[in-house]
Amino acid sequence: MLHRHVGTYTASVHPLDPATFLLRLGLALILGLAMGLERQWRHRMAGTRTNALVATAAASFTMIGLMDTGVGNASRVVGQIVSGVGFLGAGVIFKEGANVHGLNTAATVWCAAAVGALAGTGFPQYSAAVALAAIVTNIALRPLAYKWSPLEKADPTNYFFELTCEEHEQTQVRALLLNALEHSPVALTSLHSEDLEAESRVRVTATLLSPTRNDHCLEDLVARLSLETGVNAVRWSISAPVID
């Protein structure tokens, strides 16, 4: 048993057995990873690494509180975890127009912290139950939420659009692209032109944002621009958001 002296305060420190520490840490990591896989499968920003690290850190801090036998230390540590994860969750929430995105992902990260705290406290069955509840909620209740509120099904989709044209047609092609998107449900978020080496051609790339998945709109855009004189190639693809 170790003792810490801070001023007039003395607290006993009882280190956990290394095997116990690693088992609890490993459980938190695995359960956090499982929760993160569901988020990454749906291309959300906070994926496997974020949830796994949050659960692992929560378990570690909780075990630190348990090893310090000062009165109420464990509960204070858990309280600080809740506050800290709240700030982390706020980082994945963003507002776009009248819509707010990332609330469900932030709630999942919060659950990952609870999973880690329970694993660190030594309640593996409760930790697994919370992880399972979070995964089932995100998967099984999703269709029910769509049924009650069809607008929730509208997940924003990012598109990458690229065309190659003759250098002297660049201005005309860019103008046609902007004109085609003017009355389109797809919004232009960036537009870039690049001269191709050893060729008198230009590559024009654009990133587009649609409030819902709208492949038909992109196909119409490709069909329209591919008919223009000087356009050599046109393609589009879905751009997945950055997964953390």
* Pair 120, 56: CB distance under 8 Å: no
Same domain, 95 and 185: no
* Residue 90 resides in a domain: yes
* Backbone φ, ψ for residue 10 (5° rounding): -120, 130
Residue 59 lies in a domain: yes
Same domain, 128 and 186: no
CA distances from 12 to 18, 60, 65, 147 (A): 18, 18, 11, 55
Q: Name residue 142's amino acid.
A: R
The pTM of this model reads 0.54
Q: Are residues 164 and 233 in the same domain?
A: yes
Residue after which a domain boundary falls, among 93, 118, 150? 150
Do 41 and 87 sit in the same domain of this protein?
yes
**Which residues, other chains included, contact 194 with Cβ-Cβ below 8 Å and sequence gap of 6+?**
202, 203, 204, 205
**Same domain, yes or no: 83 and 98:** yes
CATH number at residue 210: 3.30.70.260
Count CB neighbours of 180 within 10 A: 16
Tell me: do 143 and 168 sit in the same domain: no
Angle at 189 between CA 98 and CA 40, to 5 degrees: 70
| Number of domains into which the chain is organized | 2
Answer yes or no: do 110 and 176 share one domain: no
Whether 244 is in a domain gets the answer no
Distances (CA, A) of 125 to 16, 31, 39: 19, 11, 23
DSSP 8-state symbol, 196: P
- Sequence-ordered list of residues with C-beta below 8 angstroms from that of 184, at least 6 positions apart, any chain: 217, 221
pLDDT of residue 70: 58
Examine the domain organization and report whether 184 and 146 are in the same domain.
no
What residues in the chain have per-residue pLDDT under 70?
1-15, 42-46, 68-74, 89, 92-101, 142-155, 198, 240-244
Closest listed residue to residue 35, CA positions, set 141, 142, 135: 135
- The answer to whether position 6 is within a domain reads yes
Q: Using CB atoms within 10 Å of the CB of residue 109, give its burial: 0 to 12 exposed, 13 to 18 middle, 19+ buried.
A: buried
| Chain Cα centroid distance, residue 59 | 22
As given in the structure block, the two tokens for residue 152 are 């929730």
The token pair that represents 31 in the structure block: 């359960």
- Domain co-membership, 129 together with 172: no
Angle (CA) 60-64-69 rounded to 5° is 155
User: For 127-185, what is each residue's pLDDT tens digit?
Assistant: 999 999 988 888 877 666 556 554 445 567 888 999 999 888 888 888 888 888 887 88
User: Which of 118, 150, 182 corresponds to the end of one domain?
Assistant: 150
Q: Give the residue from 103, 127, 150 where a domain finishes.
A: 150
145 with 29, same domain: the answer is yes
Q: Note whether 114 and 221 are same-domain residues.
A: no
pLDDT of residue 7: 47
Residue 235 and residue 182 in one domain: yes
Q: Is 204 buried (19+), middle (13-18) or exposed (0-12) by CB count in 10 A?
A: buried
3-state secondary structure of 214: coil
Question: Where do runs of H (alpha helix) occur along the chain?
Answer: 18-41, 48-67, 73-90, 103-121, 124-140, 142-148, 170-182, 215-226
Provide the residue range defining the domain that includes 131: 2-150
